[in-house]
Amino acid sequence: MTSFSKKIVTFDECITIRHYEYDIIEECEEKKGRDWQRTSDLICREFKQPIENGGCGGNWNVLQNKLDELTEPWWYLIGQLWFNLYKFAKRIEESSSDEDDELHDIIISDEPSADNSYNV
């Protein structure tokens, strides 16, 4: 004859608690890129500021030169700005040789139409 003894299980024995440590800055850098804060400053604060005040004067080429200096810019935010300014126009690196001249004229003029107001 076999007898089964009653086993009492406590709550502590059933639950495993794991502690994870993470750095919020490291998480942001992993998702957005190492220079996400500088990219945000360039696009949200400095893009419309006059060049004399250290801004870009609303000129995409000036912004592009400043972004080229960054190691890991936040590409998502850059794409949002491009779309707000030029809607469905392809960037220079995306366009074919036939479209290059038209796109170059759009960027050089750098005067977004009234319906292309910038809001990020």
Looking at the 3D structure of the chain, how many domains does it have? 1
- Is the model's pLDDT at 96 over the cut of 70? no
Q: Is 1 within a domain?
A: no
Lowest mean per-residue pLDDT among 9-18, 39-48, 54-63: 9-18
Task: Please report whether residue 81 resides in a domain.
Answer: yes
70 found inside a domain: yes
3 found inside a domain: no
4, part of any domain: no
16 found inside a domain? yes
Give pLDDT, residue 77: 93
Q: Is 72 within the bounds of a domain? A: yes
Quote the tokens at residue 90.
């392809």
Chain mean pLDDT for the chain: 78
Q: Which structural domain, as residue segments, surrounds residue 18?
A: 11-116
CB atoms within 10 A of CB 60: 21
pLDDT at residue 114 in the model: 47
- The mean per-residue pLDDT over the stretch 14-41 comes to 81
Q: Region 77-101: what's the mean pLDDT?
A: 78
DSSP one-letter string for 39-86: HHHIIIIISSS-GGGTS-TT-HHHHHHHHHT-SS--HHHHHHHHHHHH
Q: What is the pTM of this model?
A: 0.59
How far, CA to CA in Å, does 92 sit from each of 64, 80, 96, 97?
Answer: 12, 16, 8, 9
Is residue 95 in a domain? yes
Q: Which residue has the higher pLDDT, 77 or 7?
A: 77
Q: Is 12 helix (H, G, I), strand (E, B) or coil?
A: helix
Given a cut of 50, is residue 90 above it in pLDDT? yes
Q: Look at residue 70 and tell me whether its pLDDT is greater than 80.
A: yes
